[in-house]
């Protein structure tokens, strides 16, 4: 549930990434430390496939990953997740996305992980964030 007072989980804390309060970012990332270390990408994809009832094995192409992530995020939207379940889902998504990204070498991996985790945290807290917008933010 989102409240309207300042603080973690408050709708007033979620602003454009370029204008985000550094203290809010720091506190949010501290709460997301449980998502690290990220699981192996193959394990992450397997868990997402199992959760969506999707058969298949091995690596996924960028197009297959986008389709899998779309189903996975839509399924998660319709569930009430505990904190550990949500963080596990976020770690799986970030791990799979990083394995398929081409620009990972160019930027700081830790910074990229943090940015992706913040995108997903926002998705789970704000009900008006669409799956399509999240996929764009994840680079899928």
Q: How far apart are CA 15 and CA 23, in angstroms?
A: 13
Helix (H, G, I), strand (E, B) or coil at 106: coil
Helix (H) or strand (E) holding 88: helix 83-100
Would you state the pLDDT for residue 107? 56
pTM strictly above 0.85: no
Would you state the pLDDT for residue 91? 92
Would you state the pLDDT for residue 3? 42
**Per-residue pLDDT tens digits for 94-139:** 998 888 876 555 555 777 888 888 888 888 777 667 788 888 888 7
Average of per-residue pLDDT across 11-18: 46
Domain range list for the chain: 38-138
What are 31's strand-pairing partners? none
Neighbours of 83 (CB within 10 A): 9
């Amino acid at each position: 549930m989102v409240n309207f007072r300042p603080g973690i989980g408050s709708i007033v804390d979620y602003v454009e990434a370029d204008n985000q309060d550094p203290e809010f970012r720091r506190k949010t990332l501290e709460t997301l430390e449980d998502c690290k270390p990220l699981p192996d990408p193959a394990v992450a994809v397997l868990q997402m496939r199992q959760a969506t009832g999707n058969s298949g094995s091995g690596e996924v192409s960028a197009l297959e990953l986008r389709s899998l992530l779309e189903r996975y995020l839509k399924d998660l939207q319709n569930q009430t997740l505990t904190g550990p379940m949500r963080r596990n889902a976020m770690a799986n998504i970030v791990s799979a996305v990083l394995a398929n990204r081409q620009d990972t070498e160019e930027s700081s991996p830790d910074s990229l992980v943090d940015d992706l985790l913040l995108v997903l945290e926002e998705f789970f807290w704000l009900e008006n964030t669409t799956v399509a917008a999240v996929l764009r933010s994840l680079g899928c």
